[in-house]
Amino acid sequence: MPGGNWERIISMTKDGMRSIGMMRKKISRGKRIALLIDGPNILRKEFGVKLEDIVEALEGLGNLRVAKVILNQYAPQGLIEAVANQGFEAIVVSGETGVKLAVEAMREIYNPNIDVIALATRNAEFLPVILKAKENGKETIVIGIEPGFSAALKHAADYTIILTPGGEEE
């Protein structure tokens, strides 16, 4: 997953210690987060939101265990590659991205290895998903950006993260 700290791997030999590589530390903060991003709604040029900004906003709340970005068939190849290079699963759909996002969210709601459902979207159509997650004992996070961030989503979620254009969170 994106982010992380690196530490040296040391080999002990009869001649002493030597560095043989680098390993990313596993940082355990408890809660296991499934992050689902509504690509066409959040990853727009006019907003300037970067995937790293979203991951950084979630780092203090737990471990990112699932990271998926739902994109439509019009997504440029460069965006699909950038999503994959950041360690996210890029899911390209030919139809409505909202349907696929809702299906993926429901899959994670019923995943016993996930504690928190994080949705990055501005769209109020995902309110039933947030409510179903809470009904099933999951904590919920909504990540969005103004203008057009649904007030219903903000109020229904346990945590709301509002990103500002250019990547700084409020």
pLDDT (tens digit per residue) in 128-160 = 999 999 999 999 999 988 888 888 888 899 998
Give the residue from 90, 93, 67 showing the smallest Cα distance to 78.
Answer: 90
H-type helices in 2-143, by residue range? 39-42, 51-59, 77-85, 97-109, 127-135
pLDDT digits (tens, 9 = 90+) for 24-70: 555 555 799 999 999 888 888 878 888 888 888 888 888 889 999 99
The DSSP code for 46 is T
Residue 135 belongs to a domain: yes
pTM: 0.79
Residue 58 belongs to a domain: yes
Query: Residue 37 is part of which domain span?
Result: 28-163
Residue 3 belongs to a domain: no
Number of domains observed in the structure of the chain: 1
Residue 1 belongs to a domain: no
Residue 13 belongs to a domain: no
How large is the average pLDDT for residues 3-18?
Answer: 62
How large is the average pLDDT for residues 88-92?
Answer: 92
Pairing of strands 5-13, 16-25: antiparallel
- CATH code where residue 140 lies: 3.40.50.1010
- Please name the residues in contact with 47: beta carbons below 8 A apart, sequence gap of 6 or more: 145, 163, 165
Residue 10 belongs to a domain: no
Residue 158 belongs to a domain: yes
Residue 170: pLDDT band with limits 50, 70, 90: very low
Residue 133 belongs to a domain: yes
